[in-house]
Structure 1
Amino acid sequence: MMRPRDAWLSPWLAAPLAEHRATFIKVGIAAILTNVFALATSLYSMTVYNRIVPNNATGSLIALSIGIGIILVFDFILRMLRGYFIDVAGREVDAKLGAAVFKTLTSMRLANKQGSAGAFAGLLREFETLRDFFASATIVAIVDVPFVILFLFVIWAIAGPVVLVPLLMIPVVVAASMAVQPGLDRMAGSVLGLGFSKQGVMVETIAGLETVKATAAGAMLERRWQAAVDESADTALRSRLLSAFAINVAASAQQIVYVGVVLYGVFLIADGKLTSGSLIAASILAGRCVAPLGQVAALLTRLSGTRAAYVRLDAFMSAGGEVAADANPVRRKRLEGRIAFRNVVFHYPGTTTRVLDDVSFDIAPGEKVAIVGRVGSGKSTVARLVLGLYQPTEGQVLIDGADVRQLHPDDLRRNIGSVLQDVTLFSGSIRDNIALGDPAIDDAELLRLARVSGTHDFVGQLANGFDLRLADRGEGLSGGQRQSIAIARALGNAPPIFVFDEPTSAMDSQSENALVSRLETELAGRTLLLVTHRQPLLKLVDRIIILNAGKIAVQGPRDDVLRSLATGQA
């Protein structure tokens, strides 16, 4: 959904903030009252030195002190409430943004995914930067700034020309803050990008640590890591120096204002134009004048980083998912299993090489077809297109006569049991990885799926059985065991369509042959699209399609194609 040109924030960020506007209003009211109470302390000092000390009015001092003590108690309570309201709003906004970001992640088009997994994860965590900026110090700073005018007016009312001192320093603080903004803006994007690169190297190394050690790739990755660290540190240092300049100018301005007010005030007292109590009150208020500007200076230094994070995260959130915001996809609870490719052309995002070139074929409901061919011929791409993971560049992929782009992704994948070439298991138990939280898969069904897939053969030998906790991506299990679990997961809920991409590539021949025998019964009456190089799996199919360089070279009944291959006629 496109936002209006004049909108400051995209709906995905504006909506959670708007939901808590009542809380933000409470924070604003608390900030207003604490600023008003700040006037009371300065006026208390002026009254004591101008009225009570000269007259030795101890009784009045006690009464006045009780009053100011009550104000200070309320000030403390309001500050605590202000912090509490900000934390509550921040927590709620954090939850809303986190849910929105994760939902966008799971529904995004794979074509929109760019960069390494680590860099991508770093980008998604930037919503915390936005939450901190919009739900914390920002509100307090915005509320405090208008009170600068009030404090200046009160200083003028009680100390006259002394107001010139803070009045002259305020533009200095503002100018220093604005002067560093262009430099911070230029570096913010670089700092963010370099941080993503650094995290990408770290996540890649952790995820493939076994391979890193086995292939002695540590030196190469260490050089990448060190280069990213050095460049990131240099850019971050320059950014911090600019930020520190603005913040330190604001801090020095507070001290200069205090000294300047006292210095100027002493001469005014000597001329009889100012009382000592008024000077003390003016010096307190003068510091309060510059303090909010110090907050603004710190805020402006964060603004560049926040803006860079927002731009990148907004591009991700606004890229659109598999289902367009204004779309009304066809909902189908159950599919028959008819698959058709119509003049499909496909190339992966960012490339111009045609992985599939004018591919057309039909698979009838219940038919079982194998896609074979050399490495890089486009076999796995066919499986991804059927699953709707990518969209064809040209042509159509049809399921039951409907373009996969018109089917709701949830309905499509609920009706397809898939095993991809790179099997990924999730942290959790073996039971979790098979059932995926589906309550329809009870213990009896779990055991049945495990027997068909061959998972039961090794799970029965484990102490914890199906409750064995797996590490990330199923580390600790063999490749064949991971494939068995993935097959059991695909068979769950008896989908009408199966898409298997090299499902037994890591299995031994005995396990593979036993699995084929069991699958012949399990797959009866269901559509199968099988991508394989393995001869035993071809027993499952009725027809074979051979791909070569993205085009269909041969297709026909299994036995005819195998016979032609054996005689060298294909």
Structure 2
Amino acid sequence: MNDQPLIAAARERFAPWLIEPMLRNRAIYVKVAIAATMINLFALISSLFTMTVYDRVIPNDASSSLVGLTIGLVIVLIFDFVLRLLRVYFVDVAGANIDHDVGDTLFAKLLALRLDKRKGSTGTLTGLMRELETLRDFFASATLSAIIDVPFILITLSVIAALGGILVLPPLLMIPVVVLAGMLTNPALDRLSAKSLGDGLVKQSVLIETIGSLETVKAIGAGPMQRDRWRKALVKHSHSSLGQRLTASIAVTVANSANTIAYCGIIILGVGLLRDHVITTGALLACSILCGRAIAPLAQIATLLSRLSATRIAYRQINTLMETPDEGPAGEGLMPTKIDGRVEMRNVAFRYPGAPENALNGINLSIAPGERVGFLGRVGSGKSTIARLVLGLYEPQEGVVLIDGADVRQYQPHQIRSFIGAAMQDNVLMAGSVRDNICLARDAGDQDEMLRAAEISGTHRFMGQIVNGYDMRLADRGEGLSGGQRQSISIARALVGNPQILLFDEPSSAMDAQTEADLINRLQPEVAGRTVLLITHRTSLLRLVDRVIVLDQGKIVADGPRDAILQRLSGGKAA
């Protein structure tokens, strides 16, 4: 079966990230629909069995007929049991497929997200990922079965009318009541669902922030402040969730009450019809059984409406994230197999989202292939911002950043970053082994290359003495290692694969003087012939560079040979 025309049509409509996986699983949904149809038809048989027993078997003492009817009913029940299991299985398979596809698409979107367009904290984004469960449960659980059951309300009512005539009136009159209750509560549910989701994301944000920086929270005594924030978030979320649940229960409760009223109405009317010999006892019992079958789908729809509001809000939140622009080019972009390492900035100005002032103003610089440049300046002068722009993590508001004469935005981000070895200031390590953190599943990260990079960075000095060595599992963010050890692993990660451009941002800030001196000695032959951008406050590291650029308030205030610039700085001629 060719899926391309349907998938293309989905792209032209809305939310292709959700519609396309559903279209790919439409064959499974067809099986679910067939199973649900058969289950609904089988449900009519139990009422007809009851009517036949009361009207034919009991008056005529037809035991043999009862045996035959019972055998037939058992066969139907077996088929009904198997079909119900198959329906659950198919629904779960479709749900798992959709969950996998949508989850993978959303995670890929998260990785490709432009940082300047990112909205919300880490906890908020984590909460949005959790909302995938809401979408999956709605589109791939009992929702489809509930929708399929709705048309059978008409069939059930028709059978009641055929058997009991005016006995169809009680369930028929209750249907508008249930539908109206759902329609009236839906607007309030939308508001409460949005509030509940927002409060839940705030609670998630506080939790993730506290867990991610638990050591710092303890060290600086921020526990009471975080606990107060947590309590407030808990109270707000519990109140909004309570309102949402209470409102959602109104339509469900009305549906259940309507079912009881319709059943009682059939019994009351049926007694009069039975006295006048208009219907039989079996017909009355059959109609009372079918009454529940007529109202039950409406109760499911009422429950569905209560979940619809939460699903709609979750969809809007996730779709907003999916519509956020990706980093990199809109098309295929440039994917070079190698680069020379020329870096240029032309009239670059940049301001972080929400910042009152520019981090960079009118930056013009050119770094030749193989040139090693050090960046000096006060805190907040824009040094690290230059590194982020070269990596393409942010886009300048004005000007252009070039690598080998091409705008960084023209390259595929993962491709150009494979040529840049970056050791950033934060030195964040990921959960997993030390080997995983150095090699990052890259093709160039084999055993020998990992050991070479570890020797140069100094990682092997402490990893080689541990029993499980590079297979040692690290906790989140590398907790349990010293700052200097984390820096060593970050430097090794940057060196793996011999990238043409090396970008170091305060690579030795957590190291002692002797460890730093040893690192410099090992790095000097390693950086020869490569383009190096070194950001530091330590002049000792400038042995690795030939040129120094000094920044102040986002502008270049000095640029020249290392020794000449250092002499000017020591003489107080440059700030």
| TM-score between both structures, scaled by the size of structure 2 | 0.97
**What is the distance in 2 between the residues matched to 1:262 and 1:323?**
69
Deviation per CA, 1:177-235: give whole Å up to 9, x if none.
Answer: 11110101011111111111101111111111111111110000011000000001001
- SS of alignment partner, residue 180 of structure 1: helix
Question: Who is 1:248 aligned against?
Answer: 253
- SS of alignment partner, residue 340 of structure 2: coil
What does residue range 216-227 of structure 1 map to in structure 2 within 5 Å? 216-227=221-232
Displacement after TM superposition at 1:447 (Å): 1.9
Deviation per CA, 1:398-417: give whole Å up to 9, x if none.
Answer: 00000000011122100000
Residue 480 of structure 2 is aligned to residue 460 of structure 1: no
Counterpart of 2:354 (choices 338, 350, 357) is: 350
**What is the distance in 2 between the residues matched to 1:409 and 1:274?**
77
For the 8 Å contact 2:10–2:19, the answer to whether it is kept is no
Aligned alpha-carbon RMSD (Å): 1.4
Counterpart of 2:515 (choices 500, 508, 511) is: 511
Question: Who is 1:329 aligned against?
Answer: 333
Counterpart of 2:452 (choices 440, 448, 452) is: 448
Residue 283 of structure 2 is aligned to residue 285 of structure 1: no
Counterpart of 1:369 (choices 364, 370, 373) is: 373
Displacement after TM superposition at 1:126 (Å): 1.1
Question: Who is 2:503 aligned against?
Answer: 499
Question: Who is 2:195 aligned against?
Answer: 190
Structure 1: 5+ residue stretches without partners = none
Residue 427 of structure 2 is aligned to residue 418 of structure 1: no
Question: Who is 2:148 aligned against?
Answer: 143
Question: Who is 2:51 aligned against?
Answer: 46
327-336 or 27-36, which deviates more = 327-336
**What is the distance in 2 between the residues matched to 1:55 and 1:228?**
70
Displacement after TM superposition at 1:175 (Å): 0.8
Residue 86 of structure 2 is aligned to residue 96 of structure 1: no
Question: Who is 2:486 aligned against?
Answer: 482
Letter paired with 2:497: N
Displacement after TM superposition at 1:439 (Å): 4.6
**What is the distance in 2 between the residues matched to 1:552 and 1:435?**
35
With over 3 angstroms needed to count, the CA separation of the structure-2 counterparts of 1:22 and 1:412, relative to structure 1, is: same
Letter paired with 2:257: S
Question: Who is 1:264 aligned against?
Answer: 269
Residue 314 of structure 2 is aligned to residue 309 of structure 1: yes
Displacement after TM superposition at 1:552 (Å): 0.9
Displacement after TM superposition at 1:52 (Å): 1.4
What does residue range 73-92 of structure 1 map to in structure 2 within 5 Å? 73-92=78-97
Counterpart of 1:175 (choices 180, 198, 212) is: 180
Question: Who is 1:538 aligned against?
Answer: 542
Counterpart of 1:360 (choices 354, 359, 364) is: 364
- SS of alignment partner, residue 334 of structure 1: coil
Counterpart of 2:432 (choices 420, 428, 432) is: 428
Displacement after TM superposition at 1:445 (Å): 2.1
For the 8 Å contact 2:10–2:16, the answer to whether it is kept is no
**What is the distance in 2 between the residues matched to 1:140 and 1:335?**
56
With over 3 angstroms needed to count, the CA separation of the structure-2 counterparts of 1:84 and 1:290, relative to structure 1, is: same
Give the count of matched residue pairs: 567
Letter paired with 2:118: K
**What is the distance in 1 between the residues matched to 2:220 and 2:560?**
43
Deviation per CA, 1:52-106: give whole Å up to 9, x if none.
Answer: 1111111111111111111111111111100010011111111111111111111
**What is the distance in 2 between the residues matched to 1:125 and 1:322?**
24
- SS of alignment partner, residue 221 of structure 2: coil
- SS of alignment partner, residue 532 of structure 2: strand
Displacement after TM superposition at 1:352 (Å): 4.3
Displacement after TM superposition at 1:437 (Å): 1.9
**What is the distance in 2 between the residues matched to 1:101 and 1:415?**
26
**What is the distance in 2 between the residues matched to 1:6 and 1:405?**
25
Question: Who is 1:563 aligned against?
Answer: 567
| TM-score between both structures, scaled by the size of structure 1 | 0.97
**What is the distance in 2 between the residues matched to 1:396 and 1:236?**
48
- SS of alignment partner, residue 405 of structure 1: helix
**What is the distance in 2 between the residues matched to 1:541 and 1:500?**
12
- SS of alignment partner, residue 221 of structure 1: helix
